[in-house]
Amino acid sequence: ALPIFPRDQGKERPCLNFHMGLCDGYCRKEMPRSQHQEAMAQAIRLLEGKFGQVEKDLREQMEEAAEALEFERAAALRDRLKAITLLGKRQKVVAGSLSDTDVVGFHRGEAKSCFVVLHYADGDLAAKDMDLIETPVEEAREDTVSALIKQYYGSRGSLPRQILLPCEIEDEVPVMRMLSEACGHRVSLVTPQRGAKMDLIRLANKNAREELERSITKEERKNQLLSLFGSMLGMENPPRRIEAYDISNTGSDDIVGGMTVFVDGKPLKRDYRKFRIRSTETPDDYGSMREVITRRFTHYLDEDGKFSARPDVLFIDGGAEH
């Protein structure tokens, strides 16, 4: 929405939308509340698909305005009537074309994909099916969709007369023949390129993407993050064990190194360790860190059970010298 000019605030004047013809200015005092309520009721009837009733109301208002010599208002009502009539015709065409139709959506994720089927009857969405699948990265999208179509509809006794596909498949003709023979009537496979049917494909694809996003668990998100982290470090595989080190100086006689451990992205507190620094009695972060790391891997080489696990990544708190 366009903003209200500061000088209009509190002045009981309509905002810029009204002056640009984008709003009827129902906020004005001279606008009766009943007119606003009628406009809202009309909008609700449009959303409910009651185009005939809205057209009748607008035609009556247009005729009343013409008889009262309010020609500008009559012209505006005429234009609105034309727009709603056109919208109603389009809605009827869409409803007629979707009398018995399935719309297929597909979205490929990094590890999983989602296959969605929207079932339409008399132009209304009657049901929805979805399935999450593991898909090989090297498999083409068209091949995956073709396999899913045959798998999904091959075991169903009742099939629609039309199936809208998100992409063209190479074996469209044999698949169409197979489905038609299975159900006893012609089943058409259509890949829309534009118009209302393409809008439905976009809707189905959006459904598939959202279902896939909802299905990704916290564990999977963590694994994806570890994979990304590993690739950033140039590692062939995601890091499984990460160790982080820091030095704490609470006094000249109490210098301690700390080791925290994360395995598969989760803290492993039983492997946390503290190292009391022996090599110095004065704060020396670099020397202290050298001692901690040396002692940690000395234990590892000595096959000390408490340090037997080999880390994939070390996080060391400090400057570039570390």
Half-sphere exposure of 286 (CA within 13 A, CB side): 4
What's the pLDDT score for residue 96? 52
Between the CA of residue 121 and those of 49, 95, 124, what are the distances in Å? 16, 8, 5
- Coil, strand, or helix at residue 23? coil
Regarding pTM above 0.85, the answer is no
β-strand partners of 261? 243
Q: What is the pLDDT of residues 108-166, one digit of tens each?
A: 887 788 999 988 876 667 788 888 887 665 678 888 889 899 988 887 778 888 899 99
pLDDT for residue 2 is more than 50: no
- Please state, in angstroms and rounded to a whole number, the distance separating the CA atoms of residues 86 and 88: 5
Q: Count the residues in the chain.
A: 322
- pLDDT tens per residue across span 233-243: 999 899 999 99
- The sign one gets for the Cα dihedral 74, 79, 80, 86 is positive
- The sign of the torsion formed by the CA atoms of 195, 199, 204, 205 equals positive
> What three-state secondary structure class fits 278?
coil
For residue 93, the model assigns a pLDDT of 47
- Pull the structure tokens for residue 128: 């929805």
The bridge status of strand 112-121 relative to strand 100-108 is antiparallel
What token pair was written down for 278? 């022996």
Instruction: Give tens-digit pLDDT for 55-68.
Output: 888 788 888 888 88
Q: Considering the chain, what is the average pLDDT of its residues?
A: 81
Q: Which amino acid is at 88?
A: G
Q: What share of the chain has pLDDT > 70, as a percent?
A: 84
